[in-house]
Amino acid sequence: MAFRSDEDKKAYWQKNLNLMFVLLVIWAVVSYGFGILLRPVLDAIPVGGVGLGFWFAQQGSIYVFLAIVFIYAKKMRELDREFGVDDDE
């Protein structure tokens, strides 16, 4: 463990949890929200003769999942560096 202080350790973990929370909210909104629960609302916006809700359920959510994973990897790398706990040799 290479944290400068216990506060640093807590701050690092808290920032990680905050980032995870935001991304997991987006994860849930695009799939359970846009794809299932809010489909009747979103289908008012036509995509391919059906609607945006259908598109999110079969296509859009997957693209957003991809973005979430890469954004998390990038942000965490920055956070690791900021706190000096990255694993680059």
Partner 1 sequence: MDLQTLTYIVVGLTFSLYIGIAIWARAGTTGEYYAAGRGIHPVANGMATAADWMSAASFISMAGLIAFKGYDASIFLMGWTGGYVLLALCLAPYLRKFGKFTVPDFIGDRFYSSTARIVAVICLIVASLTYVIGQMKGIGVAFSRFLDVDYATGLYSGMAIVFFYAVLGGMKGVTYTQIAQYCVLIFAYTVPAVFISLNLTGNPLPQLGLIGDTADGTPLLLKLDQTLVDLGFAEYTAQKGGTFNMMMYTLSLMLGTAGLPHVIIRFFTVPKVSDARTSAGWALLFIAILYTTAPAVGSMARLNLTNTIQHGEVGDPQGNLVYEERPDWFKNWENTGLLQFEDKNGDGRIQYYNDGNAEFAAKAEAEYGWKGNEMVKVDRDIMVLANPEIAKLPDWVIALVAAGGLAAALSTAAGLLLAISTAISHDLLKRTFMTGISEKSELLSARIAMAGAILVAGYLGLNPPGFAAQVVALAFGLAASSIFPVLMMGIFSTKVNKQGAIAGMLAGLLSTLLYIFSYKGFLFIPGTELLANTPDNWFLGVSPEAFGALGALLNFVVAFVVSNMTAPVPDDIRQMVEDIRVPKGAGDAQDH
Could you list the residues that contact partner 1 (CB under 8 A)? Answer: 1-3, 9, 12-13, 16, 20, 23-24, 27, 31-32, 35-37, 39, 47-50, 54-55, 57-59, 61-63, 65-66, 68-70, 72-73, 76-77, 80, 84-88
CB of 27 to partner 1, least distance (A): 5
Q: With beta carbons less than 8 A apart as the criterion, state whether 47 and 55 touch.
A: yes
Which residue lies nearer to partner 1 by CB, 32 or 41? 32
Helix axes 61-82, 6-28, angle to 10 degrees: 170
CB of 44 to partner 1, least distance (A): 14
Rounded-to-integer distance, Cα 41 and Cα 73, Å? 33
Nearest Cα residue to 42 out of 60, 25, 28, 26: 60
